[in-house]
A and B are shown apart, each in its own frame.
Chain A
Amino acid sequence: MPSTFASWRLRALALAERRLPALTRLRRPEALPVRLDRRRIYVLPTPFGLVFAALLFVMLVGALNYGNNPAVLFTCLLGSVAAASLFAGFRVASGLVLARVHAAEAYAGEPFVVNLRFDPAARDRASLRLRHGAFETAFALHANQPSDVSVVVETPHRGWYRPGRIRVWTDYPLGLFQVWSWVNPDVDILVYPSPERAAPPLPVSGDTRIGEQAHAGASEEHAGLRDYRPSDPPRLIAWKASVRHDSLLVRDVEHRSGEALALDHASLRGLDEEARIRRLAAWAMAAERLQRAYSLRLPHETLGPALGADHLRACLRALALMPGRAAVDRDD
């Protein structure tokens, strides 16, 4: 029985989407900012609203039956309050603008936060709610104060992630009517691959260790220094050492702790594609933690050698966008 019901429901939904162009339009991603207006706001009574309507009817019949005019007036007043609440609720949703969507760092398989910036325009909006998948939250906006609403999202896939349809709704003020609208912002959020947990140690080659010893044996003064090139940032200039030489010297990042590590996609034979990507991601992060310069060699490009947050981001981005977005198995 439930399956029959579900199939009927799906068919009704499909019919509604065919017949109501607005619904279909909302299925397509749309460019930000998205403004909720009457063309895309829907209103229906809640179950409580239906019960309340039945109650009002009983009250009206009772009051008329007893010929009791104050009771009739009371019932009329309550009915009018219910009707007014519909429009008050509509005004909470109407004119709301989804201004932008941005996300913090996101890793596949882990929950991450997507911030939706809502602009309430010149109106206080209490008790708006937002549903995205199984995630629900409620928020209030003060007039002329755009603010962020955090949505917690989780996806098993690396690469570009599209939040999809988000239901913005409210049953303000009395819970008799629900006013809702679907927004499907045209934004892509980059989801980094999930780094392999308990990955094997970094691939430290023998040369590197020799290089380190060679450096240690060399003059302390020259350790990790090289000639200035115009593209070097000024903060890297070693001023004291430069005074003693005639030319400007800069600290060589790549040599700060020995030779650059080579994180090579091709060297990880025996693992499947996703496992390779996850291991490379884990290694890149480990190298970053150890402050060791590293280069990432992928089939089509090579990044680095370098060190720093920008480099790590570039590496993770390249890994995330590797072809073949297969699902990543969870570590556990």
Chain B
Amino acid sequence: MTDLLDRQQFERVALAVAATVALHVDHLPAGLSFALAATIAPRVITRRRAAGAVSWWVRVPLTVFLLMFVSLQYGNIFGRVPGTALACGMLALKLLEAERTRDARVALGFASFVLMSSLLFTQTLLFSLAVCGVLGLVIAGLLSLQPAPLAEPRRLQPDLWRASVLLGIAVPLALAAFVLLPRLNAPLWGTRGDDTLTSTGLSDSMAPGQFVRLMLDESPAFRAEFKGPRPRTQSLYFRTIVLSDFDGTTWTRRFSDARPSDAMPQVPARSPIYDYTVTLEGSGDRRWLPALDLPIVAPEGSRLSREQILVARPGPVVVGTYDLQSSPDAKLDTSLPGADRARLLALPPGYGKQARELARRWRDQLRSDDRIVEAALKLFHSSFDYTLEPPPLARDTVDDFLFGTKAGFCEHYASAFVFLMRAAGIPARVVTGYQGGWWSSEYLLVRQSDAHAWAEVWSDGEGWKRVDPTAAVSPDRIELGAAQSDPNAGWMRSGWLRELRNQLDIANSLWTRSVISFDSLRQHALLTEFGASELSHGDLLLALSIVLALTMALAAGWAMWDRRVHHGDPLDRAWQRFRAALARGGIDERTAEGPLDLRARVHAAAPASAPAIDPLVDEYVALRYGSPAPEPLRVARLVRRLRAFRLRRR
């Protein structure tokens, strides 16, 4: 018996590995994807011709090359992105030396790890299903490593079927474990800033297009619990960061912007005041605290800056939960000093030549600030598209967006709008924060995907006014949220496809709500419904252990249950029962005793039963020892009579 992989086994393993790597193609550098394909395919072809590992003088340089490539590409080999790129490469290289069952198992085990890491990048329902499908291939690969299949030659279909049965059996336990596993409140190691893709939360700079990852991140940013009246969805603007400086591509702020305001916010009479508590989630940057437009008092541990944002005081205590009040009509500044005005009108030189031209025309024709704002909004409304996948912009981002691509999302609109306003002589700035949210019965849940950018324009006498240019392009963004309002491609818009897409969206949002955003809060909410409240990690682990133990006991019962546990044929069993009945009557069973000796003992012990037992024993002896295949009818009759026999002591 050899454990060398045959061609079929090898190709199953190669298939599983290739499918695993293919799920990563989306975020791997194109060169690496190509190199991996160029490693796997020739290996499969050459192994068809002859078995044998690729020699070490090919493998070692390839490994060194992979390490160099990854560290040059990303600067290091740790962290999520470089780590998975490295893992994909190692997996493909493992295939070069996989010749025996042991290697193949290691490769497939590692493939399942790489498969799991692909979920760190995309978590949509469809992608998760694809991952599940590839997991089926991996399990089928492990199955085909078994040496003696039921049918030769081995076919993929039965193995896939067995793999899906295994997966199906595993689902209930997996769900129970998923619900009961205690979630970490804080990550064990940094998940932030270890690479460019992780963007948990807003940052203090904004370049159009940068939000995309954030907009697809369904993890919660914070929760707001309102005491008293709730604001309407359209006015759910949580301002977080104000950006006033633009260099042509990126909006930034200055450190001095955070200095506290010396004035007290003025709240006009009769305007509503919202009283609420914010609980921050996740591991985002906590230097800026989101607050409903506009906060009027600063909670403990923070201060209200001149730009009317909440800045956390530096210190060891990280703010997690805070109470505050907001009023939509509050005003802080009513005057704009000259230096500030100049800064809020500044434009980067060399950018937006056409935009400046357009703004100058508006200024000449319309004169009033309000009408210029209206004109800009009308421009966006008439000929711009809202999309989360905007085409890339040329060097002059402003002009290319306004007169070229004309498609983008909130960042593009806020940025372009503020540029136009400044070019028209109106002081303006970009505000980033969150807009909208999801109302549960008790609180408003705001996710990272609700991140938004809008603009504020200065009006002498009235102060800062909020203008949301995105609302002009896509009112749905304000009503539905970012991802839902992206109409994607044109063909998606009509007929049954739209219906299908709606259905898919329902499934997707169900997936998002029940799986992706299942955090410790939801976990507790779910378990509270079953009457368990205030569960600690220990309680959860205990519950998980109980469920595991019960499942294992059930499974053990299933494994040990055997439909056909029988000892001998019906005749034997009937005789066995008969002897057991005699034993209960005082005539003990003796293993080595034949039927005739037994009869003799019955005669001696219970003479009254002698006439009844004699024909039974005779018939049994005739059937059992008289013929190799006793007649079924006679057997059945004897079985009945043996069952009916009662021992009579006297």
Q: Which of A95, A126, A138 has the most CB of B within 10 A?
A: A126
Give the chain B neighbours of A76 by CB distance below 8 A. 173-175, 177-178, 181
A74 within 8 A of B: yes
User: Which of B116, B146, B565 has the most A CB atoms < 10 Å from its CB?
Assistant: B116
Does B590 make an interface contact (CB < 8 A)?
Answer: no
A216 within 8 A of B: no
**CB-contact partner of A127 in B149, B187, B562, B564, under 8 A:** B149
Task: Point out the residues of chain B lying under 8 angstroms from A86, CB to CB.
Answer: 555
Contact segment of B91-99, B135-143, B301-309, B421-429: B135-143
Task: Say whether, besides A48-B105, A73-B515, A127 and B177 are in contact (CB < 8 Å).
Answer: no
Chain B 94-133 per-residue mask, 1 if CB under 8 angstroms from chain A, else 0: 0000000110011001101101110110010000100110
Apart from A71-B119, A128-B148, A175-B145, what are 14 other A-B pairs with CB-CB below 8 Å? A65-B189, A66-B191, A67-B184, A73-B515, A74-B119, A80-B174, A81-B170, A84-B555, A88-B166, A94-B560, A129-B147, A138-B147, A140-B149, A173-B143
**B173 lies within 8 A of A55 (CB):** no
- Do B116 and A59 have beta carbons less than 8 Å apart? yes
User: What separation, in Å, do the CA atoms of A62 and B167 have in the docked complex?
Assistant: 22
Determine if A81 and B166 form an interchain contact, defined as CB atoms under 8 angstroms apart. yes
Which among B112, B515, B564 is the interface contact of A70 at CB below 8 angstroms?
B515
Residues from chain B with a CB closer than 8 A to the CB of A14 are none
User: Which of B269-277, B439-447, B516-524, B608-616 touches A?
Assistant: B516-524
Complexed CA–CA distance, A115 and B519 (Å): 59
A72 at the interface (CB under 8 A from B): yes
A37 to B564, CA, bound (A): 13
The answer to whether A127 and B174 touch (CB under 8 A), given A65-B184, A66-B191, A67-B219, is no
Does A181 interact with chain B (Cβ within 8 Å)?
Answer: no
Q: Which 9 pairs show the lowest CB-CB distances between chains A and B?
A: A80-B170, A127-B146, A138-B147, A138-B148, A80-B173, A87-B559, A76-B174, A77-B174, A76-B177
Closest to B170 in A: A80
Query: Once the chains bind, are B128 and A67 in contact (CB under 8 Å)?
Result: no
Q: List chain B residues, Cβ under 8 A from A182.
A: none
Question: Is A51 an interface position by the 8 A CB rule?
Answer: yes
Q: Which of A37, A70, A95 contacts B516 (CB 8 A)?
A: A70
A residues 133-150 near B (Cβ < 8 Å) are 136-140, 142
Q: Is B45 in the interface zone, CB < 8 Å from A?
A: no
CB of B644 within 8 Å of the partner chain: no
Q: Does A192 contact B (CB under 8 A)?
A: no
In contact, B562 and A94 (Cβ under 8 angstroms): yes
The answer, yes or no, to whether B282 is at the interface (CB within 8 Å) is yes
Q: A85 vs B140: C-alpha distance in the bound complex, in angstroms?
A: 12
Of the candidates A58, A77, A128, which one forms a contact with B170 in the assembled complex, judged by CB atoms under 8 Å apart? A77
- Chain A residue numbers with a CB within 8 Å of B162 are 173
Give residues 145-199 of A contacting B (CB, 8 Å).
171-175
CA distance in complex: A164, B80 (Å): 55
Q: Does B171 contact A (CB under 8 A)?
A: yes
CB atoms of B563 and A122 under 8 A apart: yes
**A75 and B173 alpha carbons, distance in the complex (Å):** 12
Contacts from A to B (Cβ < 8 Å): 37-38, 48, 51-52, 55, 58-81, 83-88, 90-91, 94-95, 121-122, 124, 126-129, 136-140, 142, 171-175
CB distance from A205 to the nearest CB of B (A): 50
Shortest CB distance A285–B (Å): 33
Q: Is B286 interfacial (CB 8 A cutoff)?
A: no
Does B1 reach chain A (CB closer than 8 Å)?
yes
CA distance A174 to B139 in the complex (A): 7
Residues of B within 8 A of A83 (CB): 170, 173, 551-552, 555
Given A58-B113, A65-B187, A66-B191: A126 and B564 interface contact (C-beta under 8 Å): no
Chain A residues lying within 8 Å of B516, measured Cβ to Cβ, are 69-70
> In the assembly, what is the distance between CA of A129 and CA of B142, in Å?
17
Question: With an 8 A cutoff between CB atoms, is B504 at the interface?
Answer: no
Between A and B, 13 residue pairs with Cβ closer than 8 Å are: A55-B112, A66-B80, A67-B183, A67-B187, A67-B219, A68-B123, A70-B131, A73-B515, A77-B170, A79-B177, A83-B170, A84-B169, A138-B147
Q: Which one of A75, A128, A136 has the greatest number of beta carbons of chain B within 10 Å? A: A75
Residue of B123, B148, B175 near A126 (CB, 8 A) is: B148
Contact B191 A69 (CB under 8 A): no
Q: A287 vs B131: C-alpha distance in the bound complex, in angstroms?
A: 73
Any A CB within 8 A of the CB of B50: no
A308 CB to closest chain B CB (Å) equals 29
> Is there an interface contact between B148 and A77, defined as CB atoms closer than 8 Å?
no
Q: Are A84 and B184 in contact (CB under 8 A)?
A: no
Residue of B with least CB distance to A51: B109
CA distance A116 to B149 in the complex (A): 19
Nearest residue (CB) in A for B151 is A140
If over half of B's interface residues share one DSSP class (helix, strand or loop), that class is named, otherwise mixed; here it is: helix
Q: Which of B80, B105, B184, B564 has the most CB of A within 10 A?
A: B105
Which chain B residues border A85 with CB–CB below 8 Å? 166
What is the chain B residue whose CB lies nearest that of A64? B184
Measured between C-beta atoms, what is the minimum distance from A84 to chain B in Å?
5
| B177 and A48 contacting across the interface, CB-CB below 8 Å | no
Q: A48-B109, A66-B191, A87-B558 are in contact. Are A74 and B131 (CB under 8 A)?
A: yes
Please report which residues of chain B, range 160-203, place their CB below 8 angstroms from some CB of chain A when the two chains form the complex. 162, 166-167, 169-175, 177-178, 181, 183-184, 187-189, 191
Is B30 an interface position by the 8 A CB rule? Answer: no
Question: B592 in the interface, Cβ–Cβ < 8 Å?
Answer: no
Task: Specify which of A61, A75, A95 is in contact with B188 (CB 8 Å cutoff).
Answer: A61
B556 at the interface (CB under 8 A from A): yes
B150 touches A (CB below 8 Å)? yes
Supposing A72-B181, A87-B559 touch, asked if A173 and B142 sit within 8 A by C-beta, the answer is yes
Q: Is the CB of A126 within 8 A of B559?
A: no
Question: Of A48, A66, A72, A121, which one neighbours B178 at CB under 8 angstroms?
Answer: A72
The reply to whether B150 and A65 contact each other, CB–CB distance below 8 Å, is: no
Contact of B564 among A71, A87, A122, A139 (CB under 8 A): A122
Give the chain A neighbours of B150 by CB distance below 8 A: 124, 126, 140, 142
Q: How far is the CB of A327 from chain B (nearest CB, A)?
A: 29
CB proximity of B184 to chain A, nearest CB, Å: 5
Chain B contacts for A126, CB-based, 8 A: 146, 148-150
Query: What's the nearest-Cβ distance from chain A to residue B70, in Å?
Result: 18
Residues of B within 8 A of A48 (CB): 102, 105-106, 109
Tell me the smallest distance from the CB of B161 to a CB of chain A, in Å.
12
The residue of chain A having its C-beta at the shortest distance from the C-beta of B104 within the complex is A175
A52–B555 CB distance below 8 A? no
Contact across chains for A139 and B148 when beta carbons are under 8 A apart: yes
A138 near B1: Cβ-Cβ < 8 Å: yes
Interface positions of B from 535 to 576, Cβ below 8 Å from A: 551-552, 555-556, 558-560, 562-565
**Are B116 and A38 interface neighbours, CB within 8 A?**
no
Cα distance, A175 to B112, chains bound together (Å) = 15
A35 to chain B, nearest CB (A): 9
- The answer to whether A74 touches B552 (Cβ under 8 A) is no
Task: Give the complex CA separation of A91 and B560 in angstroms.
Answer: 7
Residue of A nearest to B220 (CB): A67
Considering the complex, which residues of chain B in the window 361-413 have a beta carbon less than 8 Å from any beta carbon of chain A? none
B518 touches A137 (CB 8 A): no
B559→A90 contact, CB < 8 A: yes
| Complex Cα spacing A235 to B138, Å | 67
List, in ascending order, chain A residues with CB within 8 A of B135's CB. 74, 77-78
Contact among A51, A80, A140 with B177 in the assembled complex (CB-CB below 8 Å): A80
**Once the chains bind, are B187 and A73 in contact (CB under 8 Å)?**
no
Tell me which residues across on chain A come within 8 A of B188, comparing CB atoms: 61, 65
**Residue pair A80, B148 in contact (C-beta under 8 Å):** no
Q: In the complex, which residues of chain B have a beta carbon less than 8 angstroms from the beta carbon of A79?
A: 174, 177
In the complex, which residue of chain B has the Cβ closest to the Cβ of A54? B109
Chain B's nearest CB lies how many Å from the CB of A174? 4
A66 touches B174 (CB 8 A): no
Expressed in whole angstroms, the Cα–Cα distance for A58 and B181 within the complex equals 15
What residue of chain B has the Cβ atom nearest to residue A139's Cβ? Answer: B148
Q: Please tell me if the beta carbons of A65 and B112 are within 8 angstroms of each other in the complex.
A: no
